[in-house]
Structure 1
Amino acid sequence: MPFTSTFVLHLRKRLAIGRLFIVGLLLISMVGCSAMGNSNNKQPKPEPDLSELAHRAAQQMIASNPDLTRYSPMIAATFVSIDNLSQSSTFGRISSEIMASALAQQGMQVREVKMRDSMFIEESVGELILSRQVQRLSSQHNARSILMGTYAQGQDYLYVSTRVVRSGDAMVLGSADFRVKLDNNMRSLLEGQGGW
């Protein structure tokens, strides 16, 4: 076989191997870029749920007033709609229960009392006033404080304001606010609007 033919054959083999090598490198780089692109497009971290937010709020209350637990035992009132203070919902009832549980885990002694008509707001003044029934329930259960809360529905979030007040004079001992993503689950809890 003439030298030229052998040289050309050898050159073609090298070029074929070189092409395969380049194609391989291109494939590896495309896979790498794709993986990097996926790492930037990670799903966003899910928003915390009601329970997690209530527990954070309880921690915040205790952190801002470490003496809060001295005002034990505490009784809990159902959280009410800020738009109609004589109305609550499944959300108002469960958020009160979860918040009371979270405070109990932080060292607050909580008395189990299902309260009805436990508070009202003097709408013209906007101040929290404890009703006579709360005063009676507080003394009946030897409660030194009361958990109260309101919530408001926005377009994308449900806003919750909660506080622990001293039963004798309605002095706010601790408070916390948080917002919950308004998804279908939250909407279904709000549908049960009604009296206490």
Structure 2
Amino acid sequence: MSAACATGPTYQAAETSEFTQANYSAVDKLVAATAVPIAKSAPLLVATMVNIDSLNQSSRFGRLISEQIATRLTQLGHGVVEMKLRNDVYIREGTGELLLSRDVRTLSKNHNVQVVVVGNYAVAAGYAYLTLKMVTVTDNRVVAAVNYLLPLTENNKALLMQPRE
């Protein structure tokens, strides 16, 4: 079988993943749309993307997108606090870092955090609809927001499936 006839995942396709590029592009737009200056030197937090129908639930899909959001913000020079190393954030096994409002105030004081990046997703027939927001921790004001869609490819459907216990 020649390379031209090969089907399925490839290293080249993985390197230029449309999934990753869509998430990076959303972060780029979020940062560009920020209504107040956000100092790159100031730490920020990225919460796990949650299911809009159940804000205390996520999935591998939501957790992976949150990781890519944090990665892109880091690449852009922002100081992202790695919450997996924290013991004062509510981490539900199999869900991710869910920021409860009482935790945000404590974390923001401990780390001098200006904003928190939060988001949710809704799954429809052919797409997942996503919303990202930058929210100030002092007054819960949304200072930037972006909506985007990801197609429900076989990979995305697999990420949305709950793992069997």
Displacement of 1:153: 0.2
TM norm structure 1:
0.63
Q: Distance in 1 between matches of 2:131 and 2:37?
A: 17
Displacement of 1:133: 1.4
Could you say which residue in structure 2 is the equivalent of 1:91? 61
Q: Closer, same or farther in 2 for the Cα pair 1:102/1:84, shift >3 Å?
A: same
Q: Closer, same or farther in 2 for the Cα pair 1:105/1:69, shift >3 Å?
A: farther
Greater Cα offset, 58-67 or 96-105: 58-67
Q: Is structure 2 residue 99 aligned with structure 1 residue 118?
A: yes
Paired residues for 1:1-196 under 5 Å: 49-65=18-34, 67-70=36-39, 72-114=42-84, 115-116=89-90, 117-119=98-100, 131-192=101-162
Greater Cα offset, 178-187 or 69-78: 69-78
CA contact (8 A) 1:68 1:174 kept: no
Q: Distance in 1 between matches of 2:126 and 2:33?
A: 29
CA contact (8 A) 1:80 1:149 kept: yes
Q: Distance in 2 between matches of 1:138 and 1:192?
A: 32
CA contact (8 A) 2:26 2:146 kept: yes
Identify, as 1 or 2, the structure richer in helix: 1
Could you say which residue in structure 2 is the equivalent of 1:7? none
Aligned length: 137
Q: Distance in 2 between matches of 1:85 and 1:55?
A: 23
Aligned-partner SS, 1:70: coil
Unmatched segments (≥5 aa) in structure 1: 1-45, 120-130
CA contact (8 A) 1:73 1:142 kept: yes
CA contact (8 A) 1:69 1:107 kept: no
Q: Closer, same or farther in 2 for the Cα pair 1:160/1:62, shift >3 Å?
A: same
TM norm structure 2:
0.74
Q: Distance in 2 between matches of 1:186 and 1:101?
A: 19
Q: Distance in 1 between matches of 2:31 and 2:58?
A: 26
Unmatched segments (≥5 aa) in structure 2: 1-12, 91-97
Q: Closer, same or farther in 2 for the Cα pair 1:93/1:68, shift >3 Å?
A: farther
* Superposed CA RMSD: 2.3
Partner amino acid, structure 2, of 1:118:
L
> Greater Rg, structure 1 or structure 2?
1
Q: Distance in 2 between matches of 1:174 and 1:108?
A: 15
Aligned residues with identical type, % of pairs: 32
Identify, as 1 or 2, the structure richer in strand: 2
